[in-house]
Amino acid sequence: MSSLNLDDFTDLIERPDGGVRRDAEARRERQIVPPGALGRLDDLGEWLAAAQSAVPVRPIERPRVVLFAGDHGIASLGVSVRPAGSADRLVRALLEGAAPSSILARQLNVPVRVVDMALDCDPDELPEDVVRHRVRRGSGRIDIEDALTPEEAEAAFRAGMAIADEEADAGTDLVVLGDVSVGGTTPAAVLIAALCGTDASVVTGRGGVAIDDLTWMRKCAAVRDALRRARPVLGDQLQLLAAVGGADLAAITGFLLQCAVRKTPVILDGVVSAACALVGQRVAFRAPDWWLAGQNSGEPAQAKALDRMALEPLLDHGVTVGEGAGALLALPLVRAAAALAAELPEAPEKQEEAEEVTEEVAEEVTEEE
Q: Which run of H or E residues covers position 266? A: strand 266-268
Among 128, 299, 323, 355, the one annotated catalytic? 323
Q: Which of 170, 172, 178 is nearest to 66 (CA)?
A: 178
Please state, in angstroms and rounded to a whole number, the distance separating the CA atoms of residues 269 and 278. Answer: 13
Burial of 88 (0-12, 13-18, 19+ CB in 10 A): buried
Question: Is 352 an annotated catalytic residue?
Answer: no
How many Å apart are CA 313 and CA 74, to the nearest integer? 28
Helical axes 185-196 vs 247-261, angle rounded to 10° = 60
Q: How many CB atoms lie within 10 A of CB 58?
A: 14
| DSSP annotation string for 12-25 | H-----HHHHHHHH
Is the distance from CB of 122 to CB of 355 less than 8 angstroms? no
Phi, psi of 129 (to 5 degrees): -70, -15
CB 273 within 8 A of CB 189: no
| Half-sphere exposure (Cβ direction) of 253: Cα atoms closer than 13 Å | 30
Is the separation of the CB atoms in 18 and 50 below 8 Å? yes
Q: Tell me the C-alpha distance between 356 and 352, whole Å.
A: 6
**CB 87 within 8 Å of CB 120:** yes
Which positions are catalytic?
323
